[in-house]
Each structure stands twice: as structure tokens, then as C-alpha cells.
């Protein structure tokens, strides 16, 4: 494992301990996500800045706004990492309205999608990005009605920010999905994986590389081929790094994280820990890709995937908790 990767894992764990004490009542998963977003930037978490951005959100939204939902702390963290949080939040609200104008439903996922578009495009491109996000979402939903839902908004926004043609891109996603669906059991995750892989340009050899990486990881008892981690495996597949090194580095980062305070088996499940380890490894590899355009796309994708998968985990845990309370 690279020294930088080792440091980033340790910084992530330190950030997690800092925010745990500062935001006592926030969801543990959301706090770890904020800690990771800062670590990915090589920064010690700034709880005061996050708190100020959290207040900014409250001051500019209604009591029942989706901006105050499960992902509020994540959005606050993203804003606090931006050059001008107040300006970026104002732009995020504009993008959110544009996305709702495209008949996408209000949700935590749509809030994050708006935040990502506002942070990664100019004001003159907002309308186009919103329309393209809708087009990619419709392309997925037309082919897979029962597995395409609001949790695909972030992936659709990720694609909407590229220069891929929505019709041609949707066809490529479907081809990749068709070739991968027999290899992995969770269809929703396979669709997310296909959406990530379409960012890599040519499809030549990509399926073989996905399967080779899966098998190499499995040999080390690393299961990235499951629900919440399959999309990030797609990013790793597109990077010019040997599969043995990827497996070795992820195992080392996983071991480093597991040894940190607050990351024991009773605190952080294995799949969640693997998502963090794989994301840290992927972000480090992406820095060394010589293709500047691909580097930007993959680096952005890592952040998007982390947020999308964490949002899905939080939603699942919240739903489970609600169901348990109702049955009691």
C-alpha cells in the first residue's frame, strides 16, 4: 500500500473520531461519510465549518425540506469543502429546482445530485445537465422499470455531467448490463456497475477485467462483488493498475482501518469498511492516471459512488429501524 494511502486511511479514522464527538445526534454512517470526504481531500475535518454550513442549510430551507433529511450533514460537509459555501448552496438550490422541473421526485438522492451538479458545472450548463440527468434516468427506467428508482438519481447526474450522448450511452449501459447480469446476483448493483463502466470509453476487454478483478479479490476473501461495493469495483477496473496490487492494497487499507478506534467489527460492518478501503485505493490510483480527462471523471466518480452507496445504506438502516419500531 502506498504511504499516501496509509496516511489517508489513518486521517479518515481520526476525522471520524473528531466528528463523532461534535455531532452526537447525527447518524453514524453520515458522520463517517463526512469524515471520509475530508480525508479524500487530505484534510483534517473542520467541524465548525460543517456546522456553519449546516446552519446555512436550515436558514435557507423550510422545516420539511428534503435538504434537512438524512443527507443534510453530507451536504454540509460538501459545502464546507467548497471555495464559497454560501454561493455554492445558492447554486445548488437553483439546480434542485431545475431537476424538480424535469419531474424528478424530491428526495435525499436528488439533493445530493443537485449539489454535485452545482459543484462541477457552470451556471450556463445547469439546464443541460438537469435535462441530461433526466434523459439518462429515463433510459435506465425504460429498460429496467422495477430496479430503477430514486437511488439512481446520483448515477444519472454523474452521467449527465459527461459529454456522453444519452441515447448512445443508455444503449451501452444496457449492453454492459446484459453481459454482467449473469455474474452478480444483485441486479440493481449491476446496473450501477454498468453506469460506472460506461465512463471508461471502449468496452473492449472491460468485462474480462471486471471478472478478473472479482476473482483476484475473492481469492483474498475480499468481496467487492456485493450490493454496496460493486460500483466502486467498476472504477478500480478502469484504472491501469494490476489486479494483484489492487487486491493487496485494499486488504492493507482494510486492515489499517479495522485496527483504528471506532472501526471494530461491532461498529463498522465488513461491506461498509470495504467500501471505504476500495474508495481510498481508487482515489489514490486515479491521481496517477496520465489521461487528465479520465482522471477527473474517475476522481469525481469515486466521490459520487461513496455518497450514493452511503445514502443507500442510510436509507436501508432507517427503513429497518422504522419497521422495527412499528412492529414493536
Domain boundaries, the chain: 84-161
User: Is 0.85 topped by the overall pTM?
Assistant: yes
Per run of 10 residues, the mean pLDDT along the chain (length 328 residues) is 80 96 87 94 96 96 91 94 94 97 94 91 93 96 93 92 92 94 92 89 83 96 91 89 94 95 93 93 78 56 82 75 52
pLDDT at 302: 80
One-letter-per-residue 3-state SS of the chain: CCHHHHHHHHHHHHHHHHHHHHCCCCCHHHHHHHHHHHHHCCCCCCHHHHHHHHHHHHHCCCCCCHHHCCCHHHHHHHHHCCCCHHHHHHHHHHHHHHHHHCCCCCCHHHHHHHHHHHHHCCHHHHHHHHHHHHHHHHHHHHHCCCCCCHHHHHHHHHHHCCCCCHHHHHHHHHHHHHHHCCCCCCHHHHHHHHHHHHHHCCCCCHHHHHHHHHHHHHHCCCCCCCCCCHHHHHHHHHCCCCHHHHHHHHHHHHHHHHCCCCCCCCCCCHHHHHHHHHHHHHHHHHHCCCCHHHHHHHHHHHHHHHHHHHHHHHHHHHHHHHHHHHHC
Amino acid at each position: 500500500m502506498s504511504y499516501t494511502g496509509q496516511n489517508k486511511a489513518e486521517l479518515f479514522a481520526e476525522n471520524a473520531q473528531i466528528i463523532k464527538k461534535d455531532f452526537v445526534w447525527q447518524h453514524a454512517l453520515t458522520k463517517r461519510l463526512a469524515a471520509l470526504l475530508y480525508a479524500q481531500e487530505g484534510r483534517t475535518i473542520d467541524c465548525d465549518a460543517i456546522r456553519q454550513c449546516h446552519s446555512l442549510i436550515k436558514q435557507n430551507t423550510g422545516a420539511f425540506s428534503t435538504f434537512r433529511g438524512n443527507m443534510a450533514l453530507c451536504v454540509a460537509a460538501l459545502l464546507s469543502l467548497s471555495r464559497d459555501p454560501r454561493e455554492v448552496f445558492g447554486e445548488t438550490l437553483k439546480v434542485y429546482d431545475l431537476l424538480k422541473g424535469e419531474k424528478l421526485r424530491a428526495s435525499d438522492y436528488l439533493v445530493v445530485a443537485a449539489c454535485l451538479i452545482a459543484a462541477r458545472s457552470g451556471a450556463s450548463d445547469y439546464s443541460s445537465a438537469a435535462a441530461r440527468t433526466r434523459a439518462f434516468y429515463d433510459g435506465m427506467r425504460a429498460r429496467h422499470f422495477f430496479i430503477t428508482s430514486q437511488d439512481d438519481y446520483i448515477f444519472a447526474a454523474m452521467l449527465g455531467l459527461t459529454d456522453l450522448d444519452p441515447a448512445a450511452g443508455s444503449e451501452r449501459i444496457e449492453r454492459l448490463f446484459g453481459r454482467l447480469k449473469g455474474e452478480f446476483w444483485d441486479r440493481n448493483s449491476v446496473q450501477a456497475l454498468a453506469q460506472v463502466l460506461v465512463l471508461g470509453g471502449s468496452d473492449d476487454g472491460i468485462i474480462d477485467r471486471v471478472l478478473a478483478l472479482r476473482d483476484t479479490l475473492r481469492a483474498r476473501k475480499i468481496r467487492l462483488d456485493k450490493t454496496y461495493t460493486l460500483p466502486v469495483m467498476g472504477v478500480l477496473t478502469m484504472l491501469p493498475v494490476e489486479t494483484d496490487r489492487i487486491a493487496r492494497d485494499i486488504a492493507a487499507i482494510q486492515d489499517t482501518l479495522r485496527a483504528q478506534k471506532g472501526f471494530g467489527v461491532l461498529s463498522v460492518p465488513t461491506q461498509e469498511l470495504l467500501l471505504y478501503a476500495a474508495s481510498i485505493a481508487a482515489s489514490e490510483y486515479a491521481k496517477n492516471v496520465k489521461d487528465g480527462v479520465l482522471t477527473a471523471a474517475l476522481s469525481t466518480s469515486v466521490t459520487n459512488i461513496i455518497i450514493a452507496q452511503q445514502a443507500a445504506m442510510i436509507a436501508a438502516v432507517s427503513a429497518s429501524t422504522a419497521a422495527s419500531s412499528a412492529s414493536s
